[in-house]
Amino acid sequence: MREYIIKTLQKALKADDISLESPKDLKHGDFSSNIALIRAKQEKKNPRELAAEIKGIIEKHDKGNIFEKIEIAGPGFINFFIKNSFVKECLKEVLEKNGTYGSNDLGKGTKVIIEFVSANPTGPLHIGHGRWAAIGDSIANILDFSGYKAHREFYVNNVGRQVNLLIESVKAAMNNAPVPEDGYNGSYIKDVGELAKKESPKDLKKFVLNTMLDSQKQTLSDMQVCFDEWFFENTLHDSGEVKKTIELLKKKGATYEKEGAVWFRSESFGDDKDRVLVRENGDPTYFAADITYHANKFKRGFDLLINVWGTDHHGYVKRLQSALEAIGLPSHKLDIIIGQLVALYRGSEPVRMSKRTGEMITLKEVVDEIGKDAMRFFLLMTSADSHMDFDIELAKKQTLDNPVYYIQYAYARICNIIKTGGIDIPSLKGTDLGLLVEESERELMMKVLDFPEEVKICAKTMQPHHLVRYSRELAAVIHSYYHKCRVICDDRELMKARLILMESTRIVISNMLKLLKVSAPERM
RNA sequence: GUCCCCGUAGCUCAAUUGGAUAGAGCAUCAGCCUUCGAAGCUGAGGGUUGCUGGUUCGAUCCCAGUCGGGGACACCA
């Protein structure tokens, strides 16, 4: 609906810089625009006079189709009141489009690769990984829904010092030897060691890495996070691509040698300092491989690169962008979302250690305890760049305290009403929506019709939490409506009209929860 | 010391990316079950948006500074 109105305004005013807001105060109409305020500044005119001019043009153009009335208010806002008949036309669109309602073509087929989690295979995932997982996965869903072609990828760092340390640590555990310096010593190391003893694999390194990776895969799968591809770092070394990247940087004059190592001049690109590409011992650094990896993403034909990283990697952003620039790749097409860390609580008590193992609590333990739906919902509830306090006790509650159930309950309620109504939805065609005259009905319709805009906001900002906020608002309107209006009633025509409203609401919740991958139960 | 993020109601978070009287949930208090699911609804109280300046018709949002919390500053990944 909003989109249609914007298009109408664009046509009427022959301009494309139309912005439309949804005012908080009903007195300010269904939509409002600050266009007169902005133009008045540019053209140095009186904003209210300009607003009146604009209002005249729009009214002439509209001929009473969409707008009930248009008002000028405050310093020069133009407030639009939408005709009920038009709202109901839009409601029909929800039923027609059904599962695709809310989708858009923002991406215009852009191939986008979204890389997320990419944890080292040296240990179990933690709650922070869960956050990047939920965010990355949902962004990918939203982008797919917005006309992009999203490719979900996990980069496996199966090369380097940390991996060697992991293997040495496992070996030590198998022989009851002390943990190597800087090695790993969690209980999972012993577990893998036991397993390796039992199976005595030919290639211990391969076995350990696979075991670690499988356990990460399992945890992610428990959260219903899926990847199109698991990209292994070693393939970049094996194919010689890493060497090629280093040669290319050398050729571009972006490197120099010092103390036996090859350095990249990242400082001249605005980074804090220069960075090593090839160590004194001749091994390329992780950084060198990562430049190659991102070059490889472009080579595979992706037009847009999105990475979801933990805040502990933020210092890494500048050097990667610098390196891409140095080899002539469009670094502005790399969008890195930095997610802040998650602090776990039980009630007001901070949780760091696992009760069972006495070590850092793992993602798996939390997912096992509270379940996939609450997990995803809570991790998606807040903006990625705000620090997050995650209360396990609250997420676990199956009561009204828990916002997940609030939404799911609204869905189950609607499903039950539709079921009780006992009328086939398709047979409701031709129903007179003009019978929906209650204020609460209009409120619900407007909220339902807002869905496509919310999807767009998420796609544009790459922040799925907007959708979660919307889901709570929508559920609140639904519950309120439920108490104000009865759907199942003796007036059969009215009932049919209200069933259509229920069905379109159901469709929106269903589409929305699919994007978040939170289940929508018909019964609870 | 340098860089990034955050600071909003007692608590956890929003605020359509510069819009009109800063909103929800929890907690507190007062109401609502003979009718489609009370896992719900209705209402009340609760604020100098950490602080100080600046930019403009307008700032929670942008800029400068300052205080507090978190994180990062490897020839680790």
Chain B bases closer than 7 A to any CB of the protein: 2-7, 12-17, 19-27, 35-42, 56-57, 69-77
Average pLDDT over every residue of A167-187: 92
Torsion angle, alpha carbons of A124, A130, A134, A136, to 10: -70
**Which residues of chain A (468-507) touch nucleic strand B at CB < 7 A?**
469, 472, 476, 479-480, 482-483, 485-488
Identify the residue whose tokens are 């210092």. A315
pLDDT at A337: 95
* Mean pLDDT score of chain A: 92
A381 C-beta less than 7 Å away from strand B: yes
Q: How far is the CA of A442 from the C1' of B49 (A)?
A: 33
Instruction: Please report, for residues A40, A119, A304, A307, the alpha-carbon distance to residue A320 in angstroms, rounded to integers and kept in the order given.
Output: 43, 18, 15, 12
Helices (H) and strands (E) in chain A, counts: 20, 14
A403 C-beta less than 7 Å away from strand B: yes
A27 C-beta less than 7 Å away from strand B: yes
pLDDT at A125: 95
A55 C-beta less than 7 Å away from strand B: no
Residue nearest to nucleotide B69 (CA to C1'): A387
A340 C-beta less than 7 Å away from strand B: yes
**Which residues of chain A (406-425) touch nucleic strand B at CB < 7 A?**
406, 409, 412-413, 416-417, 420
Nucleotide nearest to A37 (CA to C1'): B57
pLDDT at A42: 76
DSSP A113: E
Q: How far is the CA of A348 from the C1' of B11 (A)?
A: 9
pLDDT at A400 > cutoff 70:
no
Q: How far is the CA of A60 from the C1' of B74 (A)?
A: 68
Nucleotide nearest to A387 (CA to C1'): B6
Q: Which two tokens stand for residue A135?
A: 């965010």
pLDDT at A330 > cutoff 80:
yes
A127 C-beta less than 7 Å away from strand B: no
Please give the ipTM for the structure prediction. Answer: 0.94
Which band of pLDDT confidence, cut at 50, 70 and 90, is reported for residue A39? Answer: confident
Which band of pLDDT confidence, cut at 50, 70 and 90, is reported for residue A401? Answer: low
**pLDDT tens, position by position, A342-360:** 999 998 888 887 877 778 8
Nucleotide nearest to A409 (CA to C1'): B39
pLDDT at A399: 66
Inter-residue contact A229 to A210 (CB < 8 Å): no
Q: Can you tell me the distance from the alpha carbon of A513 to that of A446, in angstroms, rounded to the nearest whole number?
A: 19
pLDDT at A17 > cutoff 90:
no
A84 C-beta less than 7 Å away from strand B: no
Average pLDDT over every residue of A160-172: 94
Q: How far is the CA of A32 from the C1' of B9 (A)?
A: 28
pLDDT at A487 > cutoff 90:
yes
Q: How far is the CA of A33 from the C1' of B48 (A)?
A: 30
Q: How far is the CA of A35 from the C1' of B23 (A)?
A: 25
A523 C-beta less than 7 Å away from strand B: yes
Inter-residue contact A489 to A500 (CB < 8 Å): no
pLDDT at A417: 96
Nucleotide nearest to A289 (CA to C1'): B77
Residues, chain A, total?
524
**Which residues of chain A (430-469) touch nucleic strand B at CB < 7 A?**
453, 457, 461, 463, 465-466, 469
**pLDDT tens, position by position, A262-295:** 999 999 888 889 999 999 999 999 999 999 999 9
Q: Helix A372-380 crosses helix A363-370 at what angle (to 10 degrees)?
A: 110
**Which residues of chain A (183-222) touch nucleic strand B at CB < 7 A?**
none
Nucleotide nearest to A29 (CA to C1'): B20
pLDDT at A64: 82
Residues of chain A with pLDDT > 90: what percent? 78
A120 C-beta less than 7 Å away from strand B: yes
- The yes/no answer on whether domain A400-516 falls in CATH 1.10.3720.10 is no
| φ, ψ (nearest 5 deg) of residue A127 | -60, -35
A79 C-beta less than 7 Å away from strand B: yes
Instruction: Please report, for residues A180, A391, A397, the alpha-carbon distance to residue A401 in angstroms, rounded to integers and kept in the order given.
Output: 47, 12, 7
A21 C-beta less than 7 Å away from strand B: yes
Q: Where are the alpha helices (DSSP H) in A177-316?
A: 187-199, 204-222, 233-238, 241-251, 286-299
**pLDDT tens, position by position, A423-445:** 888 777 888 999 999 989 999 99
Which band of pLDDT confidence, cut at 50, 70 and 90, is reported for residue A96? Answer: very high
**pLDDT tens, position by position, A221-258:** 999 999 999 999 999 999 999 999 999 999 999 999 99
**Which residues of chain A (382-401) touch nucleic strand B at CB < 7 A?**
382-383, 385-389, 391, 398-401
**pLDDT tens, position by position, A129-157:** 999 999 999 999 999 999 999 999 999 99
Q: Can you tell me the distance from the alpha carbon of A22 to that of A336, in angstroms, rounded to the nearest whole number?
A: 30
pLDDT at A87 > cutoff 80:
yes
What topology does CATH give the domain A2-82?
A: Gyrase A; domain 2 (3.30.1360)
Average pLDDT over every residue of A179-208: 92
Domain A116-235+340-396 CATH superfamily: HUPs (3.40.50.620)
Longest Cα–Cα distance in chain A: 88
Return the domain boundaries, chain A: 2-82, 116-235+340-396, 400-516
Average pLDDT over every residue of A85-106: 94
